[in-house]
């Protein structure tokens, strides 16, 4: 029996990225107090982006940029995830951005691990002269 249950757990873990679908990601430039819960994070999303759309993720960092919260509307309810960097910090958006900005999939992946993400799309392009 243990082998059967173990196989199911491995199968479920392999499908973990399918649990929460994210079609678009948005970054709120202003810091968020990391004591904020789902309701306060949702209020910030509505204030900055106008609405919380299904299958969209909304990212916030604190003032020190060592903690991040991600609010995801999965179509049925809300998920609020937290991440803390014990060394280093998340890279914030430059001053040229408004209160919020859309992130590409590549920018999202880089941002959540603390890598430079702002010009990732531009650097990934090759132009032939």
Q: Which pTM was predicted?
A: 0.74
pLDDT exceeds 70 at position 81: yes
Could you tell me which residue, 53 or 108, shows the higher pLDDT?
Answer: 53
Q: Is 65 helix (H, G, I), strand (E, B) or coil?
A: coil
The CA distance from 57 to 77, in Å, is 12
105 part of a folded domain: yes
pLDDT, tens digit, 9 for 90 and up, residues 33-65: 999 999 999 999 999 999 999 999 999 999 998
38 part of a folded domain: yes
Give me 62's structure tokens. Answer: 């604190």
79 part of a folded domain: yes
pLDDT at 38: 95
Confidence of residue 1 (pLDDT cuts 50, 70, 90): very low
46 part of a folded domain: yes
114: left (phi over 0), alpha (psi -120 to 50) or beta: left
Which residue range(s) make up the domain with 87? 20-119
> What total of structural domains would you count in the chain?
1
């Amino acid at each position: 029996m243990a082998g059967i249950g173990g196989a199911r757990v491995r199968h479920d873990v392999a499908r973990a990225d399918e649990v929460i679908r994210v079609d678009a990601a948005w970054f709120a430039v202003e810091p968020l107090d990391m004591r904020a819960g789902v309701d306060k994070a949702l209020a910030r999303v509505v204030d900055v982006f106008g609405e919380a759309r299904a299958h969209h993720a909304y990212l916030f960092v604190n003032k020190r940029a060592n903690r991040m919260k991600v609010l995801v509307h999965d179509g049925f309810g809300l998920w609020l995830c937290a991440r803390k960097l014990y060394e280093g910090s998340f890279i914030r958006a430059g001053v040229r951005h408004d209160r919020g900005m859309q992130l590409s999939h590549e920018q999202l992946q880089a941002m959540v691990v603390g890598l430079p993400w702002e010009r990732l799309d531009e650097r990934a392009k090759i132009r032939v002269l």
